[in-house]
Amino acid sequence: MSSAINAMNWLPNRETRILVQGITGREGAYHTEQMIASGANIVAGVTPGKGGEWLFDRIPIFDSVREARHATDASVSVMFVPPRAAVDALYEAISADLALIVCITENIPIRDMMHVRRALAASQTRLLGPSSPGLIVPGQLKLGIIPTHITLAGSVGMVSRSSTLLYEATDALTRSGIGQRACIGLGGDTVSGTHFVDVLAFFEEDPHTDRIVLIGEIGGMGEQHAARFIREQMTKPIVAYVAGKTSPKNQRMGHAGAIIEDEIGGYDEKIEALRQAGVRLAESPDHITALLK
Catalytic residues: 255
| Angle made by CA atoms 161, 175, 154, in degrees to the nearest 5 | 70
Task: In whole angstroms, give the CA distance from residue 156 to residue 236.
Answer: 10
Cβ burial, residue 7 (10 Å; 0-12/13-18/19+): exposed
How far, in Å, CA of 285 to CA of 290, rounded? 10
Strands 59-62 and 76-79: unpaired
Alpha helices in 161-264 (DSSP H): 163-175, 196-205, 222-233
Question: By CB neighbour count within 10 A (0-12 exposed, 13-18 middle, 19+ buried), where does 163 fall?
Answer: buried
Query: Greatest CA separation found in the chain?
Result: 56
